[in-house]
Structure 1
């Protein structure tokens, strides 16, 4: 069995060194122009090239909410991509979810600490996924910042690798997507941890493949108009992932963690082969450009 932490250290060593400069740049930016437009933010946190390809992330715990557990879960989708490539090793690979519907990071702190303390089987990495708007909501930002710091500390105290799940903006809200990008990248720089750019892939796919629906509507209730047939009504904010959305997220995680393309993978999560291939390709393009993979 490979030594996990030396490999992880090699992978993230350059990333962490570069993050020091990136963090200082972000602090200066926020102090000088905190209210500036998020859409103008262009910095990309670096990560090592694929000279050292990561095969060490075999035991991953995903912490989050419905963005992670919809459609049989991000962990199962990622695991299926790995299995379909013949890379899953029984007894070595393990992926689980620790989720709470509508959950915020602060609501996971006790459960995360308890899980890591008492689970007899070791983990290698923990993915942290916040509530859909807590990183950018004025009302929630401070608590998110404080809670994420505590969660990362809990993970690092167990000598595990924290990874941030950059979530997506609601359907048709590119400004929200950019604000989330800024928020997660700032946290990644502050704590010197990696961030997986799922939100950027969603934003790109909405533009490039408008025929592939990445979202599902949430039911609000029934119409009450007199003299008309009662019909379902839906929430204005369309945010939860469809099967295609969760599949895209899994492809982005596969490409980011293992530094190779999911293109050609025979697992399609029930999507049409053509749609699955489009999302595989888009995931790799997004990740390889973001991390400068070759």
Structure 2
């Protein structure tokens, strides 16, 4: 069996996210997104790489995902549709406080993701992993009732944020932009200050680093040597660009960048002129399937079966598609109708093979109906029974039977029609 993967000019590469040079991105967050105008920097990085990003945002100060999930302005923007990415940024302390993570952040994230998928079936939910406070410390809600651990430093708090974002993105099969992890690398390795004077919000360098992470993820391209450097000097800009690239691409699968990739594949079983196909394609659901059986017949079923008319090799194609992501698998299927096939009478839609048989007896049903199948010895005793349960192809194990004459009795459970065939087990 030979498998060939085909990518034509209309197909994207296996790790590409967009067929066009234009993206539409909605940012839902708070001041961590709006300070230094993160969306505009994302747009500028795209412009300088000959691409275009149209961004919209709704970022009320201090807003949580729970508040966004009931905020009519946020929901209207989601319902507007036609987004390629919807970026969700939680309030910076919520993920580190277990009570609010479980009872506010995660439920709200689920609701928002459901809404995104409802109104934008091909949009990618992208969580914006933020960063810890510059000096750590204990984080409490306004009531002071629910608090985080007393973080000893930035890294300690950052580890807690990573865990929280990782958990929800794995559950929802969503993407996560590892901005906080990029911050941690720059701070720990270069002692660069990315926080503003409040030790919480980003300074321009911090926002620029975040924008580079988004740029690398959204386009699946490197940010390094992008000529847009804002108000940074070239050395600092290249440090932040290269850090973003190293974080995004070194641990590619950690951010779920692979989830919308399509890997088209299938297996099949041949029973004379009848073939049962088993779809093995991998991607997030739902996918669209197009089967070409190479005899002028097609199917959009997930796991189709097909009858061929001639003995020859057929080049069967399966095209699997998720939104703009497409992959094609091709296998050669050889049809050689055996002469030892027994057509059961009076029900001509049932076939039995081989006869004589050895270690396995195959029964094919062209019509998906519930059947009771009895194997009977020459004394009239039922020695094995199977409920067909609308299966089209059944492998009847016979390796423990002694050689001799047997009968197969098949009862249509709906019409009560009975078909019987004499068969022979032989070692030859």
TM-score of the pair, normalised by structure 2: 0.49
Give the whole-Å Cα distance in 2 for the aligned partners of 1:108 and 1:269.
30
Equivalent residue runs for 1:11-90 within 5 Å: 51-55=14-18, 58-71=23-36, 73-88=37-52
Secondary structure (helix, strand or coil) at the match of 2:26 reads: strand
Moved more, 156-165 or 51-60: 51-60
Question: Structure 1 regions of 5+ residues with no counterpart?
Answer: 1-9, 12-49, 219-237
State the Cα distance separating 1:53 from its structure 2 match. Answer: 2.1
Task: Give aligned pairs, total.
Answer: 219
Distance, in Å, in 1 between the alignment partners of 2:109 and 2:49 is: 33
Higher helix share: 1
Pick the structure with greater CA Rg.
Answer: 2
Q: Distance in 2 between matches of 1:78 and 1:55?
A: 16
| Structure 2 CA distance for aligned equivalents of residues 140 and 76 of structure 1 | 31
Q: Write out aligned runs for 1:272-287 (5 A).
A: 272-287=233-248
Within a 5 Å distance, the mapping from 1:165-204 to structure 2 comes to 165-172=128-135, 173-204=154-185
1:239, distance to aligned residue in structure 2 (A): 1.2
Cα drift, residue 113 of structure 1: 1.6
SS in 1 for 2:98: coil
C-alpha distance in 1, partners of 2:115/2:105?
A: 15
Q: How does 1:215-230 map to 2 (within 5 A)?
A: 215-218=195-198
Unaligned runs of 5+ in 2: 1-10, 136-153, 258-428
Task: Quote the Cα distance in structure 1 between the aligned partners of 2:245 and 2:177.
Answer: 12
Name 1:46's counterpart in structure 2. none
CA contact (8 A) 2:15 2:220 kept: no
Q: TM-score, normalised by structure 1?
A: 0.70
CA-to-partner distance for each residue in 1:72-128, whole Å, 9 max, x for gaps? x2111110000011222xxxx4111111111101111233222233x3x73222010
Counterpart-to-counterpart distance in 2, 1:67 and 1:189: 23
Question: Matched residue of 1:241: which SS?
Answer: coil
Residue-by-residue CA offset, 1:161-199 (whole Å, 9 max, x unaligned): 211111111114101111111111110111111111111
SS at match of 2:134: coil
Q: Is the 8 A contact 2:125 2:175 kept in 1?
A: yes
**SS at 1:79 equivalent:** helix
Shift of 1:139: 4.0
Choose from 125, 129, 132 the match for 2:89: 129
Aligned residue among 164, 167, 170 for 2:127:
164
2: distance between equivalents of 1:208 and 1:54?
A: 31
2:229 paired with 1:264 = no
Greater RCO, 1 or 2 (C-alpha within 8 Å, sep 6+): 1
CA distance, structure 1, for counterparts of residue 200 and residue 246 of structure 2? 23
1:214 paired with 2:194, answer: yes
Q: CA RMSD in A?
A: 1.9
Separation (CA, whole Å) in 2 of partners of 1:136 and 1:264: 35
Per mean C-alpha deviation after superposition, the further-off stretch among 131-140 and 188-197 is 131-140
User: Structure 1 or 2: larger strand share?
Assistant: 2
* C-alpha distance in structure 2 between counterparts of 1:161 and 1:265, whole Å: 24
Query: How do 1:1-16 and structure 2 match up within 5 A?
Result: none
